[in-house]
Chains A and B, each alone.
Chain A
């Protein structure tokens, strides 16, 4: 492996200073970063290990009713936190549908948000990739791309963001708290990931040294707990990235949808909030027709980037199903096969 410096700062301020140097990156659990380093995809000069920083592993309810989740909370701890799944069931379901139990035990909230695309050409250093090496070209564009983006892509890059966790988060207006060289700021999660445009190498709104310290779910996010689901179609029952996924959350009052939230995963370089679909659902009864209409709106701008036209039709169907499941009500417990179409199968074997 390439020789690199390893630093373990004692404070957030020191961490930011250390990571602001060229060639430095943060290391959380490393379940993504270390794989990339072993494959020669990332070749950092310096790892800034944040796992020992104090105070970043808390889950706390703030005075205004928002939930603040430290960046170092593990995916598993968050999903299994008492009360979390009750208040934010779609988020818990998404977390538990990701990766494997071992990976979830290690992976952190911050790392999950910033995990890199699974585009095979990005991982394969023998291929050309604009994201890995700006301006070299995109071998996925005419390659094996049935898993690639159908929304928001550009000729420079057709990759998707693979996180499950981010999908319900973006639907619920999650906010990211960032500590940077100029102090603390916060942005909507929806603004964290960038669409590729002509600069797919710039993946997020973060600047050098920026450290995600926490994630916040606003008070309104709890309001959907009675009708919130995450649905993920994948090529095996567990331990696979989404082909397409959707998070659907509804606030139903007097038999009508007072407010709807919808986001798609596996379709774009960012978790894809479908606001136009949400708009058509406001104030209508939760019917199959309404959900169909929402699905059409959600995918109105979709176009295939390769052998992946099926993902558009699949995404529509997933939207309809996710909304249908959400309308039917959140199950009392996270299903044994979280987010699976087979979640409701009786006697399901645990994923």
Chain B
């Protein structure tokens, strides 16, 4: 991989401090020129190609594989099967902690879901490996597949999502419902969805004795490294992973995936470097997905439109062999001030790859159901849906009673509504038409996502020439970490961004935690901030303790790091450059580490969430039922905005995903075989440019002193929430038809004309 040369990009805007500046992506030019090296772009000498053969059935076992035919094919070097594979140090079925998910690495001939890898063909060319895999012509012993939300006996899982309680309640929901003047009792369904990152899961693995070099996109360098070390029984320091760029991850690259492990095994088997890249259709199975849900919402309200109770139950699925439960009902914990709230989940097991985190796991599925139900209740109460939301505005977190660390949602509603022109909305549905006769509908949805923090470390240094270094094994999934974290780094060491060598994306750097939960900028940023402060403190020690320095004795008054100089806080005429300080001290560089971590005391005291309000306009053909979103405005309050440019891109992406959730995205599962029938980007619909209207994003000022030192909340996932509901509600407002199965399909809107 060529050295990353991020700072050779064209000059970017910068005035004053780095944080808060709308810098363009520092890796943009590399990407546009095709010079950004993604995992599959690597081609070490002697490399072979591996192709997985995958199961055509979703339950049973492999009865036979024609390994002889595959091996006879010209160019095929070896065929890895359950009978012929390098040993692993631990059983991949053993769960050492809840974040270790079971994976299929040819440990047996059992088939648990369609598209499960059942063999790996290794060949001199991709074509030979592909044909070798086809020649395996597997025969199966088939068992009836478990498919769908009613596949079997339901059960209550011990936890949902990432260790959340399955059931939670506050107040007496049944009494609240019984006393209610208006009641809504409705069932909403969301389909299975697949992450479909542009870049497929890929790996290039090379063994050199017991040393292992890996190129692989990952959202969790150290988690992956630890899993590889465990599976292959080698020390952490023998493994080096490079993951400078991801072509999207959305949660599917958070943990080591089975096929990537197979790539490492294949390299070991043949003793040569191996590349394994999943084909698009092979991604519909072993690399996670968003589970389908069926959610029942029961809501009560009094005569004045105040909620009396909110009961949110979600049915979901997990695989037959592992546990991940989409925490859809949890979306009802934080938004609306119902005096009684209950959330609960149950599940069935089906023959599927284990579902996983997918951009806003739980929040996305739960939000579209909750926002639809709230809208239904507003209508039942005869109230404008925004007025209804404001009436039930939560001043404290409803489920816990805790105050919010900050919450500028009211401003989001106000600014969003003003920009959108909400005041002109008709209360009744099916009242608005445009000049061409299309039905016009306006909908609103509230966005919410927790402000999380994980654990991260960073290392900072100031060099003799006065430049800085910041090292952190952070991940750029396309969201812009190369830029946003470098901005934080520059401010942390008081230098211009081009004077800081920012290193990220490899496993030999300090652990940046996982790039997920919308917490990467906050967590990695906090570590960078603290490492920067620590290295500046060391530098300050050198200066303030040295009587030859103009800063001598400033220890108590303190110094500020700015533009490569330390400046005495109480007397700005006294300052010294980093280079001068280090030169005089005769040291090549000073170095210090820092950490980012959640603050348990603050978490105990405050509920921490980002918020937003999304407004959507749709047009619907009154006879033909085709829907088009024509305008969206989203106003979001997410703490400090590190880079407005990148933040808007994240929010745009989220809003488009929300639109997609409401109108397009669905994995179509054959009800008998459990196979996904549209496992390609032609037929698994996501919005194309013509589906995406002009989007307007407002970032509402929010100062949060509690979430972390920098006041950052995440923006990666919140855009989906609220948006999906806003679009669905706009469809109702346009047509008068309340569709409760997502995505909304043409046939559901044909009922009336």
**Binding-face segment, B163-171, B417-425, B506-514, B618-626:** B618-626
**Total count of chain A residues near the partner, CB < 8 A:** 44
Contact of B127 with A by CB under 8 A: yes
Beyond A126-B114, A346-B436, A349-B690, list 18 extra A-B contacts (CB 8 Å). Answer: A1-B131, A100-B688, A118-B683, A120-B668, A127-B670, A139-B672, A139-B673, A233-B625, A235-B685, A235-B745, A236-B664, A236-B687, A237-B628, A237-B688, A238-B688, A314-B750, A340-B626, A342-B619
8 A Cβ contacts from A325-351 to B: 337, 340-342, 344-346, 349-351
From B436, which residue of chain A is reached at the shortest CB distance? A344
Are A321 and B623 closer than 8 Å at their CB atoms?
yes
Are B672 and A233 closer than 8 Å at their CB atoms?
no
Complex interface: chain B residues within 8 A of A345 (CB): 434, 436, 438, 619, 628, 630
Are A1 and B691 closer than 8 Å at their CB atoms?
no
19 pairs, CB–CB < 8 Å, chain A vs chain B: A2-B134, A40-B134, A100-B688, A120-B678, A126-B114, A127-B673, A142-B672, A237-B691, A238-B689, A239-B690, A317-B623, A317-B753, A320-B623, A337-B690, A342-B619, A342-B621, A342-B628, A345-B628, A349-B689
Complex interface: chain B residues within 8 A of A139 (CB): 670, 672-673
Complex interface: chain A residues within 8 A of B745 (CB): 235
Give the number of residue pairs across the A-B interface with Cβ within 8 Å. Answer: 110
Of B56, B130, B668, which is within 8 A of A144 by CB?
B668
From B672, which residue of chain A is reached at the shortest CB distance? A143
Docked Cα-Cα span, A99 to B737, in Å, equals 31
Contact of B747 with A by CB under 8 A: yes
Are B690 and A310 closer than 8 Å at their CB atoms?
no
Complex interface: chain A residues within 8 A of B678 (CB): 120
From A340, which residue of chain B is reached at the shortest CB distance? B626
Q: How distant is B57 from chain A, measured CB to nearest CB, in Å? A: 7
Q: How distant is A203 from chain B, measured CB to nearest CB, in Å? A: 20
Contact of A240 with B by CB under 8 A: yes
Are B664 and A126 closer than 8 Å at their CB atoms?
no
Of B74, B626, B669, which is within 8 A of A233 by CB?
B626
Known: A120-B678, A124-B677, A143-B672. A238 touches B690 (CB 8 A): yes
Are B130 and A1 closer than 8 Å at their CB atoms?
yes
Nearest 10 CB-CB pairings of A with B: A126-B56, A310-B747, A237-B690, A120-B677, A238-B690, A341-B621, A351-B690, A317-B623, A239-B688, A1-B127
Complex interface: chain A residues within 8 A of B750 (CB): 310, 313-314, 317
Are B677 and A233 closer than 8 Å at their CB atoms?
no
Most buried by B among A118, A125, A317: A317
Most buried by B among A236, A313, A320: A236
Are A2 and B746 closer than 8 Å at their CB atoms?
no
8 A Cβ contacts from B612-670 to A: 619, 621, 623-626, 628, 630, 663-664, 668-670
Docked Cα-Cα span, A72 to B669, in Å, equals 38
Complex interface: chain B residues within 8 A of A3 (CB): 74, 131
Docked Cα-Cα span, A142 to B671, in Å, equals 9
Docked Cα-Cα span, A336 to B619, in Å, equals 17
User: Could you give, for residues 420-441 of chain B, a 1 whenever the CB lies within 8 Å of some chain A CB and a 0 otherwise?
Assistant: 0000000000000011101000
Docked Cα-Cα span, A245 to B526, in Å, equals 56
Of B57, B624, B670, B691, which is within 8 A of A317 by CB?
B624
Are A350 and B690 closer than 8 Å at their CB atoms?
yes
Complex interface: chain A residues within 8 A of B685 (CB): 235-236, 240
From B687, which residue of chain A is reached at the shortest CB distance? A236
Complex interface: chain A residues within 8 A of B623 (CB): 317, 320-321
Are A238 and B619 closer than 8 Å at their CB atoms?
no
Docked Cα-Cα span, A320 to B624, in Å, equals 10
Are B672 and A314 closer than 8 Å at their CB atoms?
no
User: Could you give, for residues 72-116 of chain B, a 1 whenever the CB lies within 8 Å of some chain A CB and a 0 otherwise?
Assistant: 001000000000000000000000000000000000000000100
Complex interface: chain B residues within 8 A of A313 (CB): 750
Contact of A318 with B by CB under 8 A: yes
Complex interface: chain A residues within 8 A of B333 (CB): none
Complex interface: chain B residues within 8 A of A351 (CB): 690
Contact of A53 with B by CB under 8 A: no
Known: A1-B131, A144-B668, A342-B628. A314 touches B747 (CB 8 A): yes
Q: How distant is B561 from chain A, measured CB to nearest CB, in Å? A: 48
Docked Cα-Cα span, A349 to B747, in Å, equals 25
Contact of B289 with A by CB under 8 A: no
Contact of A181 with B by CB under 8 A: no
Docked Cα-Cα span, A340 to B436, in Å, equals 13
